[in-house]
Structure 1
Amino acid sequence: MMPLLLNSRGRHPPPAFAAADNESVHLGLVSKALVPIFLNEHTMVLHGATTADGYGKLIAWDDPEDAFERLTTRKQFLPGEGLLVLEVQARIMKLLVDCCHQILHEISAADMIGDAYAIQPEPPLKTDNDASGFASLAVMAAEAPFRLPERLDLARLESLLEAKMLAVEDHAWALREDPAYFAHEFLEVRDHRQEMLKDTQGCVHPITNRLREHRLWTRITSTILIDSYMSLETFTELHRQAQQLRILQTKYAGEISPQNDLPEEYMTALLRFRYFLEKTAKSPLERLKTAVAASPPMHKFFARVPPTDVDSTKLQIVQKAGVKVTEPEGHLIWLLQTLWDDGCNLFLVGLPRVMDELERLMQSSPEADRLISELVLKILGDLSIMAQCCRQLELYQPWAQTFEMASANHVETFKAEHMQWGKPYAQIVDAIKEQNMISAGRLAEPSGGKFAYPSHKRRTRETVEALRKAEGNLDAVWAKIDENLRDKVPEIGQSAVYSFLSTRMLRRTAEWVEPATPTADIKIMDPNLDTLNRPLSNLFLGSSPDQRQALKAQPKVKTKTKGVPSAASAALAAPDVSETKNSDPQPTFHVDARTLKVFRTIFFNPDVTSTPGSVLWNDFLHAMVSTGFRAEKQYGSVWQFSPTSLGVERSIHFHEPHPKGKVPFEVARHHGRRLTRAYGWNGDMFVLKDK
């Protein structure tokens, strides 16, 4: 870290660090550990100072320099704040000067700052990589105080939100398309329901009784829907606003200067984005409150208060008395509680700082890391992306200091816009209340192997029938859910959910066709091609003629059947819009054996590979990087892969497996489907390169 600090502070003047140094003492100020002195009717100038005499200059409010306005709009500093910044900078500079004297002890102090030694070009410094060599947001956050403060990077923000939006779309898609994925999600949500906690007397919740458990299935199904649809609405809107911000930043590039106010249109868009971030973060915070205490690793710390009404969904959770809590465990629980309480502590400390400390604790303490389940880690991943957006806005100095005051003039407008945006989702929540979802819940419960999906087995009549049976059971679940939404959500057409579902097609296994003439000359084809296609949802069947015509105009593609092609099945095949929209020829990747093994697993073909297996996460990283991606670790389990040499711009998110570093086969297969949808990849594109 010291070379970073020496380089940044030695090559840039103090005004460049004023806002960052003021932000660095934020926690000390809100906790009252630091109490700045008070000097009335004066403003201290730090931003925009171009001379040593002008830096730290005090201006009285009655001077004709708009001193009072610059203070109230937070463009400059209170004298007490400014003195703290100057003290921070004085201590840092003394440390660095002393360090230089000790490193260069053979050179006198006078010669060191004289003409004998010319200023050297800036040296190359290490990138923001973690121990594995990949870029890491956690490392970037740790290094940030030692570097020149960043500037608002809206292109990066847009890329981050786009990748997350597409990951959420893939999740919603897989819930409808893949029976094994749906069953896994159902059981994971069940394991994180508070009804699964034993109460303070050691008894299970009455709803787990076989006579009542259908109500639990209903609640689980509703939770899956609410979480996936809310995430889709949230990240679609945040991505849209980030796109608009980038356009406005380009539009007003010539007018943006630290000495001037931001253009009104651009400033309002920034404030709106900030408001929506604050409001939409409440959803994952609420999910965290429910999931953490009920997660299996946390059962030893929490218990449920026996319910007074066995049918109520309102449960009271308390910490168990007399349970020994180690220091890392206690610190972790306090941080998580700070998040889910969403109270004064989080308001004062700020979401980015809490997420930074949580990430640091999980990386430094295996004991704390083991207490975080995979589902909780995914929720933290959503929060981390929102925290990164908040951090980017905080970096936009000197204007970021004015956001709080400026927002007061727009809060009612933003509130109305947020309510209008959330109206379709509010109707969805009402439509999937427990009393409306009993039938869907019974269909969704995965017992009896109803969603058993032997995709890893060689295609035979029996396996094809099993695949079709599982797909049919899943289609029945969603048909019931969609029927409910269509009847009870009049404004569904205005939602991101509707826009997403209306243009997508499901892949469904075609009926088994016996080869007319068995022959060894027939090429072994990817079993994923043995499919028919059908609409992802029936919600849009009542759309306008123009909308239906737009859907009909999408390009069509024939699907192929196994063995000898069947004209009947080809005629039945409908277009898979999203997977065939790019008809460009795909490249062939010549890869090493390690990479080939990864892609043969995620694009598993039982006729090529004998048995499926898990994928080591480090091998997956190696494979993605070797095929032209830059890997960057976000917070929690989220990794972003950005293309560097593929001729496309779309990034993609994957979750690192937790706590073990292996990707199970079913998850790896889901990764393969996502790569197919995003880039058109399939298993035939990867061949072993010559040695």
Structure 2
Amino acid sequence: MGPFILREDDGSSQPVYISNIESLERSICHPPCVCADCQNGWYTPEEQRNPAQSYRRRLTDIETERRVCASLAQMRDRLSALSKDLDVFADVILRRWEKRSRAKREELLKHAAPDLAEEQWLLPRYTYSRERMLIHERTERRRRQLLLPWLNVEVLKSNPSVLFALLLYRVAYAPHHWAAFDSAQLTLSWATGHFDIDFSDKCVVMHGPRYGTLVRWEKEAAHRADLLGFPRAILVLEAQAYLMDVLGSIVEHILDGVDRTLPPRNQKWKQLIANAAFRETGVVESWSRYTHQPFSPPPDLNSDYLLSLARTRREATGDHLRYLQCDIPYLRRYMKILFSTEIFKKSSDSQKAVLLASRIHSEIGSHQWWSWIEAECKHVDAMRRMYSDSICRGSPLPQRYDRALGALELLMVNQVIYRAKCLEELLPHVPGMQKHWSLKRGNNGKSPGVIGTLRRITPANTQESLTNDMLDWCLVQMLGQPDNQTMFDHSMLFAMLHEHLAKNPAERHRLDEVVYQVLSDLSTCHEMLMAVRLHRPQNTARTLTETETSEERPAWKWHRSRRGNAQHPGLLRDMGGDLITDLYLAKPPAGPKLVAAARIAQSRALQHSAVEKFWARMRDRIAADFRGSDFSAAEIERLLLVASAHLDSEYLEERKREDEAALPEAINQPDTPQPPASFPGGFESYSRPKSVVPPRSQLTKAGTESEKSLDPNSATLQTVPAHPLNQEAAQLATIQVSKQSLEVLLLMFPGKHNGDSVGGRHVQWDEFVHAMVDAGFTARNSGGSAVAFTSSTSENPSHRSGGGRIVFHKPHPVPKIDPILLRVMGKRMARWFGWRRGLFATSTAPTVDAAAAAAAATIAGSA
């Protein structure tokens, strides 16, 4: 136990460990380097003064090498045996494990791997336990469990796919491919001193054929993570050796009694390897590789994938803002969601107006950030392609690529912090979190924009919180800084949140759509950050000041020229108040049929004018944000386009068609007056000065087939297709789908509109996913409520919808898509994939069970 001895332990409070000064100073081991990178491999002298992080022994070089070689030998022997068993008996393993009940799987696991933790989420529970303080009572069993905190009996017995995924990826990829990930899983335990650690000043090679070789410390190699200090490296090797031992033992027990002379049976296993997609039990979508990283391929920086993530989020936020401008039912639906939140309910009428305008303004800011993140990913992708032949383990990164990665890492760190801050601001106002907060109304007249004073009334970071309200605990932990190694990893927290909501459907009602959107942004940002940080060779860290000065891409222009413009509550109040009064609270016309028809046309015109007036003001607000910045006039014009969608000819033509369709429909409607829109908390007392609807902006309108766009790396306006139709999809006569899928797809493209209402029924989320899969897409969970749909190639020629990716959010708390949202989803598919109502037809192929067809298509296309 090093220099510390137990002095006092009464069994209830924290035990007391003491050491005399001489013994403590003699025990201090000095690492070769104390920089931030090398602190991942050794404890600093100051950290060693903590009993939990004090080294237990100093090892000789011979002892050090013996420890390393023992782990490597165990790992290699088990890996070789597993590979042979899978080559011959893979199908037997699949069949026998799937047929076992959960109880029988649990029984086998306890015999094969008795040291495995029984329950999920060991790390949070251990962190709050008194056991972690008892340094003198640490056991080998607990050490093994903490080496693999994500592996346990519960997760293995619940879904047979988990074991199959582990066998596939741990055998297909050599241990050095997993080294960065396995080390990252130990970060919190390393930082808080959960392990007994021995000291050696040697390093271990962490890549390639020399993986596990013991060498002396070398500055450049250590700082790019080609080498890792022995104290941390031996934990990684032990974790990998123990995992292979567990998998080997499980396979041995599964194959117990099998005739070893039988010929190889591995056709199903080969199919599994070819498809390589796994799902949770009873779920249509493939699991997220972010929240299921231990059961997915090892992390690898795929610049195409990062670019796809950023582009998809940019397109999704852009579409959302577009339909807030161009689709009045969608805007009404959005306002209704906001007004149902606790902060709106507790606000005064003028505060409601400010909050509405501020929320839309912040959504525009979020879209701009995704555009700038996309620009950074494009830059990284360009550098990676340029220097692809020079990027290899054991060698320095090309300087320009190293700087590009450093800039992207820095941007994503700040984005994770920013998105966590957005979540922090929302949490006190989430309906299901109210029991944890108190709001003292009033502000003593100091600020008209202040609703009151918020105060947390329950502890948030305790064992009781984890046990009694895991939903709240997870959300609070997500506010942690990504560089604080004593905080829980975001990917683990998202996995906990996902599992908790899946097991407790009633808990979904405690969150609203706004929170789920913020969570999806946060998870995507953290996924991108970890992709960069787990890249090997590791890039050089950059500072914000240096990057702002040297880089000319949009994100850094904004960072160095941000001015902290005030939000001007008076302007926001007028903007939001006019929109609420003229649109949300406007009474539908009533009266005789012919008169009502004219009034409907007049009402629609007034509503559209109210929306246009709001967005004209919002454009002025955005322009003010960038006044005096480093952005050129052309770049600012590009930034204004996101708030100018209702000015393009595409929108004007669509509005004309809807107006023409609305008049004859209105004549056929019954003469029954409609109630006014309800506003939670009331808004009748709000009054504002009458204002004239401003004239349309003189912004140049695009033609029917194009809209203005701007390359993120250029200030030059370009013309790109407004509907980037995939050529193959546009030329197809039909996409053949099942009768059930056709019904859902046709609901996405309703034939007629009735004023501001849209007919149709609510669609179950699983129905929608099945229809998308049937039409040639694969579905994969993508963090938070986001599900990514990727166009895939199928043997069926009608599925040739080409490449592409789009994200839709699973509705919460009830997994049903309302007609308004479904119609907007159809508009997005038309915009990006060329879908239209006449594109689909009933398949002439034999009917197949929808769930089985969806599962098969998902597996077939998600490799």
- TM-score, normalised to structure 2's length? 0.62
- Please name the residue that 1:219 is paired with: 355
- Please name the residue that 1:76 is paired with: 227
| 2:518 maps to which of 354, 363, 379 | 379
Report Cα offsets for 1:641-684 as digits up to 9, x if no partner: 12224454332211111111211112112212222222333323
- Please name the residue that 1:36 is paired with: 197
Gap change, CA 1:94 and 1:662, over 3 Å in 2: closer
| 1:622 maps to which of 761, 770, 788 | 770
Structure 2 unaligned runs (5+)? 1-161, 666-693, 708-718, 793-798, 846-863
Asked whether the equivalents of residues 310 and 373 of structure 2 are also in contact (C-alpha less than 8 Å), the reply is yes
Q: Distance in 2 between matches of 1:322 and 1:266?
A: 45
**Corresponding position: 1:658 with 2:812:** yes
Instruction: Give the partner amino acid of 2:488.
Output: V
Report Cα offsets for 1:157-191 as digits up to 9, x if no partner: 22222111101001111111122222332333344
Q: 1:436, CA displacement in angstroms?
A: 2.6
Instruction: Give the partner amino acid of 2:836.
Output: N
**Corresponding position: 1:281 with 2:416:** yes
Instruction: Give the partner amino acid of 2:722.
Output: S
Q: Distance in 1 between matches of 2:231 and 2:724?
A: 62
Instruction: Give the partner amino acid of 2:816.
Output: K
Asked whether the equivalents of residues 468 and 509 of structure 1 are also in contact (C-alpha less than 8 Å), the reply is no
Q: 1:631, CA displacement in angstroms?
A: 1.7
The DSSP-based 3-state class of the residue aligned with 1:77 is strand
Gap change, CA 1:446 and 1:630, over 3 Å in 2: farther
- Please name the residue that 2:244 is paired with: 93
- Please name the residue that 2:686 is paired with: none
Q: Distance in 2 between matches of 1:452 and 1:679?
A: 37
Alignment of 1:136-175 (within 5 A): 136-138=286-288, 140-141=289-290, 143-146=292-295, 149-175=298-324
Q: 1:498, CA displacement in angstroms?
A: 2.2
Q: 1:301, CA displacement in angstroms?
A: 2.9
Instruction: Give the partner amino acid of 2:409.
Output: R
Instruction: Give the partner amino acid of 1:235.
Output: W
Identity of aligned residues (%): 18
Instruction: Give the partner amino acid of 1:391.
Output: M
Instruction: Give the partner amino acid of 2:281.
Output: A
Report Cα offsets for 1:498-526 as digits up to 9, x if no partner: 254567623463396699999xxxxxxxx
Report Cα offsets for 1:532-587 as digits up to 9, x if no partner: xxxxx989736xxxxx5xx5677589xxxxxxxxxxxxxxxxx9972488895564
Alignment of 1:483-562 (within 5 A): 483-486=620-623, 489-490=626-627, 493=633, 494-495=635-636, 497-501=639-643, 505=648, 506-507=651-652, 509-510=655-656, 541=698, 548=700, 555=705
Q: Distance in 2 between matches of 1:120 and 1:515?
A: 61
Gap change, CA 1:96 and 1:680, over 3 Å in 2: closer
Q: Distance in 1 between matches of 2:663 and 2:339?
A: 47
Gap change, CA 1:72 and 1:576, over 3 Å in 2: closer
Q: Which moved more, 1:129-138 or 1:675-684?
A: 129-138
Asked whether the equivalents of residues 135 and 632 of structure 1 are also in contact (C-alpha less than 8 Å), the reply is yes
Q: 1:95, CA displacement in angstroms?
A: 2.6
Alignment of 1:563-602 (within 5 A): 578-579=722-723, 585=731, 587-602=733-748
Report Cα offsets for 1:408-437 as digits up to 9, x if no partner: 4x543224458743269956x736421332
Q: 1:35, CA displacement in angstroms?
A: 4.7
- TM-score, normalised to structure 1's length? 0.77
Report Cα offsets for 1:222-265 as digits up to 9, x if no partner: 22212x11111111111122222223222222222212222111
Q: Which moved more, 1:286-295 or 1:482-491?
A: 482-491
Q: Distance in 1 between matches of 2:503 and 2:266?
A: 37
Instruction: Give the partner amino acid of 1:363.
Output: A
Gap change, CA 1:57 and 1:627, over 3 Å in 2: closer
Q: Which moved more, 1:593-602 or 1:494-503?
A: 494-503
- Please name the residue that 2:73 is paired with: none
- Please name the residue that 1:369 is paired with: 508
Alignment of 1:45-194 (within 5 A): 45-50=205-210, 55-61=211-217, 67-105=218-256, 123-125=270-272, 127-132=277-282, 134-138=284-288, 140-141=289-290, 143-146=292-295, 149-192=298-341, 194=343
Asked whether the equivalents of residues 352 and 390 of structure 1 are also in contact (C-alpha less than 8 Å), the reply is no
The DSSP-based 3-state class of the residue aligned with 1:299 is helix
Asked whether the equivalents of residues 162 and 651 of structure 1 are also in contact (C-alpha less than 8 Å), the reply is no
Instruction: Give the partner amino acid of 1:541.
Output: Q
Q: Distance in 2 between matches of 1:287 and 1:553?
A: 38
Instruction: Give the partner amino acid of 2:472.
Output: I
Q: Distance in 1 between matches of 2:625 and 2:239?
A: 59
Q: Distance in 2 between matches of 1:344 and 1:663?
A: 38
- Please name the residue that 1:268 is paired with: 403
Q: Distance in 2 between matches of 1:606 and 1:552?
A: 26
Asked whether the equivalents of residues 154 and 242 of structure 1 are also in contact (C-alpha less than 8 Å), the reply is yes
Q: Which moved more, 1:93-102 or 1:667-676?
A: 93-102
Q: Distance in 2 between matches of 1:105 and 1:585?
A: 56
**Corresponding position: 1:421 with 2:557:** yes
Gap change, CA 1:556 and 1:688, over 3 Å in 2: same
Q: Distance in 2 between matches of 1:554 and 1:3?
A: 51
Gap change, CA 1:219 and 1:590, over 3 Å in 2: same
Q: 1:273, CA displacement in angstroms?
A: 0.9
Asked whether the equivalents of residues 150 and 395 of structure 1 are also in contact (C-alpha less than 8 Å), the reply is yes
**Corresponding position: 1:245 with 2:380:** yes
- Please name the residue that 1:204 is paired with: none
Q: 1:276, CA displacement in angstroms?
A: 0.7
- Please name the residue that 2:605 is paired with: 468
- Please name the residue that 2:565 is paired with: 430
Asked whether the equivalents of residues 661 and 752 of structure 2 are also in contact (C-alpha less than 8 Å), the reply is no
Gap change, CA 1:672 and 1:4, over 3 Å in 2: closer
Q: Distance in 1 between matches of 2:706 and 2:295?
A: 55
Asked whether the equivalents of residues 726 and 802 of structure 2 are also in contact (C-alpha less than 8 Å), the reply is no
**Corresponding position: 1:643 with 2:814:** no
Q: 1:270, CA displacement in angstroms?
A: 1.2
The DSSP-based 3-state class of the residue aligned with 1:445 is helix
**Corresponding position: 1:633 with 2:798:** no
Instruction: Give the partner amino acid of 2:750.
Output: F
- Please name the residue that 2:578 is paired with: 443
Report Cα offsets for 1:288-333 as digits up to 9, x if no partner: 1122221222223322134433524385322346999875553222
Q: 1:439, CA displacement in angstroms?
A: 2.1
Instruction: Give the partner amino acid of 2:270.
Output: P
The DSSP-based 3-state class of the residue aligned with 1:509 is helix
| 2:471 maps to which of 332, 355, 362 | 332
Q: 1:334, CA displacement in angstroms?
A: 2.2
Instruction: Give the partner amino acid of 2:478.
Output: L
- Please name the residue that 2:827 is paired with: 673
**Corresponding position: 1:22 with 2:183:** yes
- Please name the residue that 2:760 is paired with: 612
Q: Distance in 2 between matches of 1:71 and 1:369?
A: 45
Asked whether the equivalents of residues 284 and 379 of structure 1 are also in contact (C-alpha less than 8 Å), the reply is yes
- Please name the residue that 1:522 is paired with: none
Q: Distance in 2 between matches of 1:185 and 1:130?
A: 31
Gap change, CA 1:155 and 1:395, over 3 Å in 2: same
The DSSP-based 3-state class of the residue aligned with 2:228 is coil
Structure 1 unaligned runs (5+)? 62-66, 198-206, 519-536, 543-547, 558-574
**Corresponding position: 1:256 with 2:391:** yes
State the aligned residue count: 610
**Corresponding position: 1:478 with 2:615:** yes
